[in-house]
Amino acid sequence: MAVGGPERIGKYELLKFLGGGMSHVYRARDTVIDRIVAVKILTEQGSADPDAKARFLQEARITSGFAHDNIIRIHDYGEENGRPFMVMEFLTGSDLRDAIRSNQTGDLKRRLGIALQIARALEFVHSKNVVHRDIKPENVHIDPSGRARLMDFGIAKSHDLSLTKAGLALGTPYYMAPEQILGQPPTRQVDIYAYGVLLFELLTGQKPVTGDTVERLFYMILHEPLNLQPLVDAGVSQPVIDLVSRCTAKKPEDRFQSFGEVIALLQGILREEAPHPAAPVSPAAPGSNKLLWVVAAVVLLAAAGFGWYFFGRTKLAPPPPVVTEGKQPPAPIISTSTGEMHLVPAGSFLSGRESQPADTGAFYMDRTEVTNAAYRQFCSARKRPLPPGFTAAKPDDPVVNITIVDAQEFAKWAGKRLPAALEWEKAARGTDGRIYSWGNEADPARANVRDNPNSHGIMPADSFAAGVSPYQLVNMTGNVAEFVDELQTPSAAAVSNFARVLTPPPAANEPWYTIRGGAFDRPLSDAVAYEWMSVPARFAAPDIGFRCAKTP
């Protein structure tokens, strides 16, 4: 480890110094649940400053209550030996600044997808009566799947901007609204202004204002109109240029009054570029974007173990767009030692209950769920015990009673990986926003679900060919639920209900993942392609299995 810091803080073993200024950030390991995290510790100098210490703890307290796909998760925070610290999810990838510099933000549509994710994060932050105050590319992280996450909340800056401070970094001043420069109390409008500047930079690769001194920058922000020509030169459409212009208006009242307005405009712009399917049937009322239901009951099956637990199950809002890119593989189908895989081409598809456009790169997906026979090969090769209740007499049935950690280990052994959430959804429903793998018709006879009169428990992974997905993948609706490699923050109901069936009881800050696709012991209505539920990483059940993905 570097910089002479501690080797451990609380239950967290500090593994590697990652950088920082007034706060130091480390790659660390939670020694209780063996999870890699990032630990941010206020330096001794910062801890000696009462204001800096108070702001640090304020940031930790506020952001620890945030649960949003586009905001970095805070798992824990505290103080040790007078030094406050916070524990965050450990992210791989890069910040948006590096992505812009290295031209890794994709085409115009994908850049707008990133902008939409950031706007959603800020809409959530504002709904909690919090103003970020430091929106800039360095404070947006882009992970390898293309998800954007907002970080480093300005409400808890460890030191304030000073025009006379030696060595002042000219990062934040570029994004400051005129009223910030004038010392007026910050409102939500300062975030909308900074977002507009960030969007300009994301779309053009350059800042809209430049200057050799802070004074010159501030004069331009206060008095000179924004030059929009670089947006025109970059081929940006007029509606997007108008959006940037309104976000960066000099007067707060001339800007958008909420990020909800920004989101609606961006969604409309992106929708214009999406394919237009023939009026898909929706199971939800038009325009509904609320949580529809949560099943809180726990069913203990005396003979068969646990059933399908829909704790915290929600109707998904549109997932964030993905900005990954992949090269086209040479074959639509490949054979592997653990089964056939089918290509899902790169491109846009209609995602979520509201069928919003999203993108994925190209990937392969297993044609079937991983079988008992394939999993037995893995256990034999790795000298691992077979799962509880394993039935060797049914080699073609999907393997169950495994955790997502088991599934991840199998995938690694097989030279594959588990699918990301958007990948699973696209593979299941195709590009046209269909509700089930086969289309929009609610036909239980096409899947191994409870309301199919011909269903009788788990069936072979290669069964129900009548319900294949557009990519000829079998049983993505029904049979067994499937693990997806997507961390989720559980609802309070989920934590409470799983506490009744797991020992020790799960906590909200331990890893929770998603499962999708319905199961043999649930009705077809629970197998809608865009729905999911969260389960603890250590949970296993006789109706949960998995299939693998692979990057070409």
Preceding peptide of 504 cis, ω within 30°: yes
Token couple for 277: 């399917």
Bridge partners (DSSP) of residue 364 are 343, 550
Token couple for 408: 């991840």
What's the DSSP call for residue 17? E
Task: Please give the single-letter amino acid code of residue 134.
Answer: D
In CATH terms, 8-89 corresponds, of 3.90.1720.10, 3.30.200.20, 2.70.150.10, 3.40.50.10490, to 3.30.200.20
Fold of 300-550: paralog of FGE (formylglycine-generating enzyme) (3.90.1580)
Q: What is the mean pLDDT of the chain?
A: 82
Q: What 3-state class would DSSP assign to 112? A: helix
Across 23-32, 55-64, 100-109, 301-310, least confident range = 301-310
Residue 295 reports pLDDT greater than 90: no
Residue 168 reports pLDDT greater than 70: no
The whole-number pLDDT of residue 159 equals 31
The whole-number pLDDT of residue 217 equals 85
Most confident of 88-97, 186-195, 313-322: 186-195
The whole-number pLDDT of residue 330 equals 61
Q: What is the CA radius of gyration of the chain?
A: 25
- In the block, tokens 């924004």 appear at 226
Beta carbons within 10 angstroms of residue 87's beta carbon: 26
The whole-number pLDDT of residue 310 equals 39
Among residues 278, 327, 266, 286, the alpha carbon closest in space to that of 116 is found at 266
Across 8-17, 125-134, 307-316, 449-458, least confident range = 307-316
Phi, psi torsion values for 524, nearest 5 degrees: -60, -35
What's the DSSP call for residue 490? P
Give pLDDT tens digits for 257-286.
999 999 999 998 987 754 444 333 333 333
Give pLDDT tens digits for 522-548.
999 889 998 889 999 999 999 999 999
Average pLDDT score over residue span 294-318: 35
Superfamily of domain 94-161+169-272 in CATH is Transferase(Phosphotransferase) domain 1 (1.10.510.10)
The whole-number pLDDT of residue 329 equals 52
pLDDT band per the 50, 70, 90 thresholds, residue 183: confident
What are the structural domain ranges in the chain?
A: 8-89, 94-161+169-272, 300-550
Residue 21 reports pLDDT greater than 80: no
Average pLDDT score over residue span 92-104: 89
The whole-number pLDDT of residue 55 equals 79
Residue 381 reports pLDDT greater than 90: yes
Beta carbons within 10 angstroms of residue 105's beta carbon: 22
Average pLDDT score over residue span 198-219: 89
Cβ–Cβ < 8 Å for 448, 463: yes
Q: How far apart are CA 467 and CA 465, in angstroms?
A: 5
Determine the distance from the C-alpha atom of residue 395 to the mean position of all C-alpha atoms in its chain, rounded to a whole number.
35
The proportion of the chain whose per-residue pLDDT surpasses 70, expressed as a percent, equals 85
Average pLDDT score over residue span 176-196: 91
Residue 165 reports pLDDT greater than 70: no
The whole-number pLDDT of residue 66 equals 82
Give pLDDT tens digits for 107-157.
888 899 999 999 999 998 898 888 888 899 999 999 877 889 998 874 433
Same fold, 94-161+169-272 and 300-550: no
Give pLDDT tens digits for 459-492.
999 998 889 999 999 999 999 999 999 888 888 8
pLDDT band per the 50, 70, 90 thresholds, residue 359: confident
Cβ–Cβ < 8 Å for 399, 375: yes
Residue 298 reports pLDDT greater than 70: no
The whole-number pLDDT of residue 316 equals 37
